Amino acid sequence: MVVEKLKFVEGVRPDVTADIVLMMCPMHLLTVEQKMKELKVGEVLEILTDYDGALEDIPAWCEKTGNEFIGIEDASNFFRMYVRKLSESHPDGKE
């Protein structure tokens, strides 16, 4: 399972939080993408999710869009995932 490859972190200080608990594919990624548009380059998005699919989807989305997947923190009923915005636009030219 991908969880073994994920970097577990603690104490990351986010600039914005996206609560996507109870959201599944594709809404969780659409919400994350929208929130990332609100951030400035270098800022960190915290993603709260209970969707196991996000453990693979969010890191893959980061790789595809050129953002940095910082890591994941396991909370009691959900996961906290952290993403740093690295550029104003995606590699495919979309914002």
Number of structural domains, the chain?
1
Structural domain containing residue 25:
2-84
Residue 37 lies in a domain: yes
State if pTM tops 0.95.
no
62 counts as catalytic? no
Cα 19 to Cα 49: distance, rounded to the nearest angstrom: 7
Residue 53 lies in a domain: yes
| pLDDT digits 0-9 by tens, 21-75 | 998 788 889 999 999 999 999 999 999 999 989 999 999 999 999 999 999 998 8
Residue 69 lies in a domain: yes
Question: How are beta strands 79-84 and 68-74 bridged, if at all?
Answer: antiparallel
Residue 51 lies in a domain: yes
Contact status, residue 61 vs residue 32, Cβ threshold 8 Å: yes
Residue 95 lies in a domain: no
Q: Which candidate in 25, 27, 41, 86 is catalytic?
A: 25
Q: Which helix (H) or strand (E) holds 70?
A: strand 68-74
Residue 68 sits in a domain of what CATH number? 3.30.110.40
